[in-house]
Amino acid sequence: MSLPLVLGTMYFGTKTDEATAFALLDRYVEAGGRVLDTANCYAFWASDTGAGGQSEQVIGRWLAQNEGLREHLVLSTKVGQEPREPGVFEAPWEGLSAETVAREADRSLERLGVETINLYWAHGEDRSVDLAETVDAFGALTASGKVARIGFSNHPTWRVERARALATARGFTPATALQLTTSYVRPRPDTTVPGKDHRFGWVTDETLDYVTEHPEIEVWAYSPLIQGSYVRDDRPFPEPYDHPGTTRRLSALADVAGEIGASQAQVVLAWLVASAPSIRPILGVSSVDQLDDGLAAMDLHLSPEHLARLDTA
């Protein structure tokens, strides 16, 4: 079984040069990692062209140099968030029309140099398109073999459930994955966290209840370490995290980390995996040392007593 840790590749080919990206991919696979997460829009905001696709291209070139490895990997990519006007963050997104989903899946397959995307995500909801049209577009991809599984990222739970019901009624395999953000500490309710502009991009108690009732659905968590806030003094937690619950949780986290000889960030990753329901963290790193730190978290053992203290803080 592969590691539960997913390697995030957002900045491969832009902020992370190709040589470093290849080194990260090599080390991740060497350690037993098998799941790579990217998107067709990564990373347009860091690109000279204002368009995405660099991350997929780097992965494709790495796969081409590692013949025979493809069959052992899970390739995860997304559609829906590339701006229609290159480089303009405020421009309308490409969205989830049938034409866009089909076109961009083919482009992602070409950049990755593969015949099948293991997990294809609707990156953000698009209410300008009838949900049935989007479901049919994804269903056509699975029926053709271009896509193996479907997931929803940054969607409200009720829309996910409606899409799954539509897919089942049409004879398609329904979505079996959600990608949202969460961590051990959480922001105050009804606040806006800088850089997290997806209204329905958060794991909530409803999310956890939903996937508990539907154990066939995985939850993947992006930004689980809140951009390094647990371990870097130069990256304090955003202001919405400043509340008594954070204070109590950080105290419990520090105690557990000290007792097991791990960093607080490592305990957060281990806690996500050990929680019920389990959550797969997506780790985005820029160096092999950072990756090794995250990989080491997968070897941590949190006792029932540790988990209870962390959960109830």
How do residues 184-228 score in pLDDT, each as one tens digit? 999 998 898 987 778 899 999 999 999 999 999 999 999 999 999
d(CA 286, CA 16): 6
The tokens for 147 are 């896509």
Residue 87, pLDDT > 80, answer no
Report yes or no: 118 and 74 within 8 Å, Cβ to Cβ: yes
- Answer with the residue of higher pLDDT: 189 or 168: 168
- Angle in degrees, CA 184, 82, 84, rounded to 5: 145
Report yes or no: 3 and 34 within 8 Å, Cβ to Cβ: yes
Bridge-based pairing state of the strands 74-79 and 6-8: unpaired
Residue 251, pLDDT > 80, answer yes
The number of domains in the chain is 1
pLDDT over 90 percentage in the chain? 93
Tens digits of per-residue pLDDT, 254-286? Answer: 999 999 999 999 999 999 999 999 999 999 999
Helix, strand, coil percent content, the chain, rounded in steps of 5:
45, 15, 45
Q: What is the model's pLDDT at position 200?
A: 93
Within a domain: residue 80?
yes
Interacting residues of 178 by C-beta distance below 8 A, sequence separation 6+: 151, 152, 153, 155, 160, 207, 211, 217, 218, 219, 220
Report yes or no: 207 and 219 within 8 Å, Cβ to Cβ: yes
Report yes or no: 63 and 113 within 8 Å, Cβ to Cβ: yes
d(CA 2, CA 311): 26
Q: What is the model's pLDDT at position 1?
A: 52
The tokens for 148 are 């193996």
Tell me if residue 84 falls in helix, strand or coil: coil
Tens digits of per-residue pLDDT, 102-156? Answer: 999 999 999 999 999 999 999 999 999 999 999 999 999 999 999 999 999 999 9
How would DSSP label each residue in 274-308?
A: HSSS--EEEEE-SSHHHHHHHHHHTT----HHHHH
For the domain that residue 74 is a member of, what is the CATH number? 3.20.20.100
Place of tokens 């619950």: 245
Within a domain: residue 263?
yes
Tens digits of per-residue pLDDT, 62-77? Answer: 999 999 999 999 999 9
| 201 half-sphere exposure, CB direction, 13 A CA radius | 15
Within a domain: residue 288?
yes
For residue 256, give Cα distances in angstroms to 130, 137, 209, 230.
48, 47, 26, 14
Within a domain: residue 115?
yes
Mean pLDDT across the stretch 47-56?
A: 96
Structural domain of 293: 6-312
d(CA 73, CA 269): 21
d(CA 219, CA 203): 9
d(CA 243, CA 190): 13
Q: What is the model's pLDDT at position 89?
A: 76
Within a domain: residue 1?
no
pLDDT over 70 percentage in the chain? 100
Residue 246, pLDDT > 90, answer yes
Within a domain: residue 116?
yes
Residue 183, pLDDT > 80, answer yes
